[in-house]
Structure formats: structure tokens, C-alpha cells
Chain A
């Protein structure tokens, strides 16, 4: 069945790069997404990648997709304290999104 897995926690120092990883099981996904949830808020769409792409860059964000291994990653360059949040990856299937458990990113000053 459909499953999306993420590690639950990542801690980095301000200014370092953060890499959040995600694996998914359904190879028929056409789009894969990253959402950010700040404390007490809903989810905000950060970026997405089409399944025929390997990489997408958007300012400090880089998304890498390894379709063979069904592995997705989000790299945040020069991580700031304002990047502290929960990050969810999601795969688009049918007309729904299947979400991972979310990775809590802690940024230490």
C-alpha cells in the first residue's frame, strides 16, 4: 500500500545546511511535495517536484528525487532559526496526498 516515511527529528546549528529525507513506496506518484508547519499553524506548501525531474532548486531550498530508490530529500541552505518547524513530505496519488509523519527541525543559535 501507500506509505511515506520520514525521520522524526533533526537538529542543526544556525548557518549549517539541513537535509530532511523521505522515502515513499508508490512509484506511480507524479508529484512529490514538501510542506512546512510552523508552531500552532496549518501546513504551508514549500515546494514540489515532478516525478520526471531529479532536482529542483528554489532559493535556499533544493529538492532531490531518486526515483529508483523512491527517495526524496529537502536541503535547506544556511538554515535560520525561522526555519524551525515540522516538515512534511507528501506524494500525490489519485486525487489525494499521502503524507509522511513529519520531521521536526530544530535550529540552534
Chain B
């Protein structure tokens, strides 16, 4: 079974803090994704990566950056957290050429 883990289930940060969200997958998947989930808006893609050190902007990259130094790990960085970044953040991975994505349990981030 594919396992995708995220570093925290719940996180509370203050406005202006730098926030790191970590995601690790154990199935040697090349593709990794970061989404945010908000009620009524579904999942919106923030960034994705096809390979180590590769990254592509998704639909809502503003205010976020990512890092992929190792194949199994994809980090989402909020350089200066703001209250409108309070959300559920979901990480996913997939094999190249395959659409099926496997999701982690999510990190619920609250920025106060």
C-alpha cells in the first residue's frame, strides 16, 4: 500500500511566521502535489513536482513556495503566514503517466 505521511495533523501559527509543512511518501513516486482544501471550494492545487528539484506552479501559488531535495519528500513553505492561509493542506503523490493520486491525512493549519 502507498503511504503518504504529513508531519503534523494540526498546526497553529501566528501571522508573519514562516511555516514548513512536510510530506513523505514511501512508494518511490516521481510526482508529488500540494493542495489546499476549503469548504465549498474543493481542492485547489498550490504546487506540484515531477522530480527532485523540479517544481511547477499550480492554480494558487501566491504566498507559497516548495522544496524537493529528495524524491520521497516534498515540503510546502509559507514564507510569512497570513490569516487567509488558514486551511486544510493535503499532500499527494502519483506515478508518472498515471492520474491516480494517493493522499496523506492532511494538516489543518490555523494562522492567528
Contact = CB atoms under 8 A, between A and B. Distances in A.
Contacts of B35: 99
A102 B39 CA distance: 9
Given A42-B4, A95-B31, A96-B45, A8 B40 contact: yes
A42 B104 contact: yes
Contact of B42 (A31, A96, A102): A102
B99 A92 contact: yes
A92 B35 CA distance: 16
SS of A interface (majority) = strand
Given A8-B40, A88-B43, A102-B42, A97 B90 contact: no
A21 interface: no
A42 B90 contact: yes
Given A99-B43, A101-B40, A102-B42, A31 B99 contact: yes
Contacts, number: 52
Interface string B39-63: 0111101001010000000100000
A74 to B, nearest CB: 15
Contacts of B105: 40-42
B43 to A, nearest CB: 4
Interface in A19-51: 30-31, 33, 35, 40-45, 48
A103 to B, nearest CB: 10
Contact of A48 (B33, B50, B100, B103): B100
A100 B100 contact: no
Nearest to B40: A101
Smallest CB-CB A-B distances: 9 pairs: A92-B99, A42-B103, A101-B42, A99-B43, A43-B103, A99-B42, A42-B105, A31-B99, A42-B106
16 contacts: A4-B42, A31-B99, A33-B99, A42-B92, A42-B103, A43-B92, A45-B101, A45-B102, A48-B99, A88-B42, A95-B96, A96-B33, A96-B48, A97-B101, A101-B41, A101-B42
